[in-house]
Structure formats: structure tokens, C-alpha cells
Amino acid sequence: MLTGSLCLLVFFVMALAMYSRRISALLALPLMALAIALIGGVRADDIVKTVLADGALKLHNAYTTTMFGAMLAELLNKQGMARALVRWVAEFAGDSPYLLGALLTVVTALLFSTLGGLGAVIMVGTIVLPVMISLGIPAHAAGALFLFGISLGGMFNLTNWQLYSDVLGITQPTIVAFIGPFSLIVCLVILVLLLVELKERRNLKFFAIGALALAASYPALNSFTPAQTTASLDERSLPAAAVMIILLACYAGYRHWKKITDLPGIALLTPLVPLIFVLVFHWPIIAAFMLGITYGVLATWKHDSINVLTRSIIDGATTVIPAVLLMMGIGMLITAVMDKHVAEALAPIIRACVPTHALSYVLGFGCFSFLALYRGPLSLWGMGSGLVSLVKTMALLDARAIMAMLMSVGQVQGICDPTNTQNIWIANYLGLDTQFLLKRTLPYALISVFLGLILAIAKGFVPW
């Protein structure tokens, strides 16, 4: 018990250090892994070979996927596809603040299903936020909507799926089976946020229409189960992909010959291409990203497209280096916690703390969802990565229940955390304090958390 308590003490000391900004998560996670391994009595050669060396490579699939996703995101940036999509929607929405806010949040989510990093946040935010504010949406509400859009898009970001698969050992269909209905819940919370913050009765009709549309979509998405999906690649998609590339190559040749530089409408579909080929045709994520990159380059072809593609590959890989290093630290921490000596020491404490039945699952993880802040024990991108692996190994909770919990409480971290770089930039851009933004977004994020946990119960992930 003493060893396990000391390991948890290391967790909390590092959390305090990250909270006070004395140390970054990039350094805290490897140091935490090393300290826990030493306290747990892991042999010195195993620390060097297993915890540090093998641990750094444990999530190699996740960070390789992250790099390819970043390359596509950088291409969207450089070719102006993201800007064009936002401006088109702003024109379509007209002068209704409610409709505009809802549509721009959806567009933000669509973009961040592919985009990532502070550069993308700044690029999209400098377009979306002024448009929202110009039509009368309060600054704090515009910031909250933008954060919700980023978080909603992150649910469908294929690079995040890979991390869940690597840490929890669950399949993409299992992830999608929860994300589908949960995304509708988050959309409903967004509609509620708009209704409350805009304080206009005329918006009730927009809210009612949106709520009915979500309700109509819910049965279909909620009935989706992993059994309905096969993990094997649909071979019929290969000829379709080949024909699509040939037609786009012909179109690119035409654009080159005519010296066309305008952005065509088909280019705006680029973020959807990887999602469609992963969800519908069951392509591997990296291959789908490659196809998306090819589609984006050919659909927007100009005389300098090869140079733009090269810069996108280099710049995209560069922008995610912090995320890659963070995943290396997560891999080390998981490896350290999963060592049999450490696992045995932590087991009694974990068994006593982890809720394993429906009511305690909802109330426990819901009320303590603030522990996802500052990369705490309920954050997959921090200390929680090691603990949830241990919970899964001890079979205290089904892997699906762990995933649903992380997805749900992750809304608090992704939307509200004052240490997120996007929160800091958004607050500064809007002239707000990050703590003020936390207070205004937290109630809505908590609604998402509790409803997500209840959804996990409804889907049978946790026993009564």
C-alpha cells in the first residue's frame, strides 16, 4: 500500500507542477514514468530497455497517424480551403445570429476533424470569431462555440481514434458506435448554449427545429453497433478511388493548361474524403489521409502545387512534434504503470476508487470530471493514460466503458482547460480572461459529460 501511495503522490505532485506551470506535460510524463518505475522497484535494465526505449515507441501508430493528419491539415491551410468554407457558410446563414452560430460551429467541427494545433486554431478563429461577433453574438459565447466546435471535430479526428485504439485496444467500429450518438448530444448542448446566451425568444423556433432534427437522427446513430461493421477493407473502393484520382488528374491537367487559380467547390470536400473512406470503406487511417492529400492537391491544382505539397508535408510534420513527444511520454508512463511490480502496488487503491456500477459510474466520473483538467488522472493525454490502462488490465471496467468515460470527461478538458493553448489564444483574442472563459463554458461541458456517461449506461457498457 505504501508503494502505491507513493506512486499516486508522484501523480499529484506532477499535476500541481503542471497546474502552476512550473513544468510542461512534455517533461512531466517521462519524469513521472521514471519516478514511478523507481518507486515500484522496476529493475534498472528494465527501466532503460522497457520503460524508456520500448515505451517511447509504444504509441508509434498513433503519432505516425498524427503526422499524416497534420500534413493534410497544412494543405487545407495553404490552399485556402478552410477559409473558403467558413466564408461560404457565413454568407449562407444571412443575418440570424443563432443560425450563423450553429452553422459556424458545425463548420469548425468539420475542419477540426482534420485540422489540429494552435496554428489551425488561429487561422480558423480569426475568420470565425469576428463573423460571430459582428452579428451580435457576445464575445464569451463566440469563444465557447468555437471551443465546442473544436472539441466536436476532435471526436471525429482519425488521429485521436488511433490513440484510443492503441491505449485501450478497441476497434474503430466500437469508437464510432459511441461517438455517433454522443456527437448529437454535444450538438444539442451547443443549441442550448446559443439559446441561453443570445437571450432572444425568436430563437426558440431555431432551437426546436434543430432539436427535432437531432432527435430524428439519434435512433439511426444509436442503433449502430460494431457487429454491423467489418474491419476488412472494402475492395470495391479500390477501383472507385483509382477512377476518382484519374478524373482529378485530368481536371488538374485542365487547370494547369488554362492557368486556373480559383478554388473550386469540390475542393471543400477534402476534409470529408478520409472520413468517408475510413467509415464507409474501412480503409486504414494513414492510407485514407494519403488519399485525402492526393484529392486536395489535384482538386486545387496550380502551377506551384508540388511546392505547396512539399511545404505542407514538412510544415505539417513540424507542427505536431509537441504532440508526438507527448505521446512518447504517454507510452513511457503506460509502460511504467503496467509493470507487474507497479501494477500490484496500485491495484488495491485502484479497486477501492474506480466505480464499477451504473449509478456510481455516472455520479463518480461526472462529479470528478474536473480531474481531466491540467492533464490529470482522467485525461488520456496525461496522467490518466497509465491509470486507465491499469483499470482495463484489472478488468474493473469494460474497455468500452473506459472509452466512453474518457470521451465524456474529455469535454471538460478540451473545452474548459485554461492551460490549453487554444483557450489562451481565444481568450486573449477576445479580450477575456481564461478563468472567465472556464466559468462560462464549464456548465455546458458538464451537461455533455453527464449525458455521455448516461449514454454509456444505456448502451450497456457498465452493469447495473
Least reliable range by pLDDT among 220-224, 333-337, 362-366, 452-456:
220-224
Query: What is the mean predicted confidence (pLDDT) over 16-45?
Result: 81
> H-helix or E-strand containing 146?
helix 139-155
pLDDT for the residue 90: 65
Q: Give dist(CA 455, CA 457) in Å, integer.
A: 5
Residue 130 makes CB contacts below 8 A (sequence gap 6+) with: none
Phi, psi (degrees; rounded to nearest 5) at 410:
-60, -20
Terminal-residue alpha carbon distance, the chain: 29
In one letter, which amino acid is 13?
Answer: V
- Report the predicted TM-score, pTM, of the whole model to 2 decimal places: 0.71
pLDDT for the residue 120: 67
pLDDT for the residue 395: 58
On the question of pLDDT at 74 being above 80, the answer is yes
Inter-residue contact 104 to 132 (CB < 8 Å): yes
Sequence-ordered alpha helix ranges (H) in 51-138: 55-57, 60-78, 81-93, 97-112, 118-134
Residue 43 makes CB contacts below 8 A (sequence gap 6+) with: none
On the question of pLDDT at 225 being above 60, the answer is no
Query: What is the mean predicted confidence (pLDDT) over 368-396?
Result: 68
On the question of pLDDT at 371 being above 50, the answer is yes
Query: What is the mean predicted confidence (pLDDT) over 90-104?
Result: 77
pLDDT in tens, 413-446: 889 877 676 787 788 778 887 778 888 899 999 9
DSSP characters for 313-356?
Answer: HHHHHHHTHHHHHHHHHHHHHHHHHHSHHHHHHHHHHHHHHS--
DSSP characters for 202-240?
Answer: THHHHHHHHHHHHHHHHHHHHT--GGG--SS--TTHHHH
Question: Residues of the chain with pLDDT > 70: what percent?
Answer: 88
DSSP 8-state class, residue 49: I
Q: Give dist(CA 411, CA 446) in Å, integer.
A: 8
C-alpha closest to that of 400 among 177, 106, 190: 177
pLDDT for the residue 123: 66
Residue 23 makes CB contacts below 8 A (sequence gap 6+) with: 14, 17, 31
Chain-centre distance for alpha carbon 106: 15
pLDDT band at 228 (very low <50, low <70, confident <90, very high): very low
On the question of pLDDT at 145 being above 90, the answer is yes
Q: Give dist(CA 117, CA 290) in Å, integer.
A: 19
C-alpha closest to that of 348 among 390, 377, 382: 390
pLDDT band at 227 (very low <50, low <70, confident <90, very high): very low
Mean pLDDT of the chain: 81
pLDDT in tens, 148-175: 999 998 888 777 777 778 777 788 788 8
The better pLDDT of the pair 119, 228 is held by: 119
Each domain of the chain, given as residue ranges in start order, spans 2-59+330-419+433-458, 61-228, 237-319
CA dist list (Å): 363 to 6, 258, 367, 380: 27, 63, 6, 20
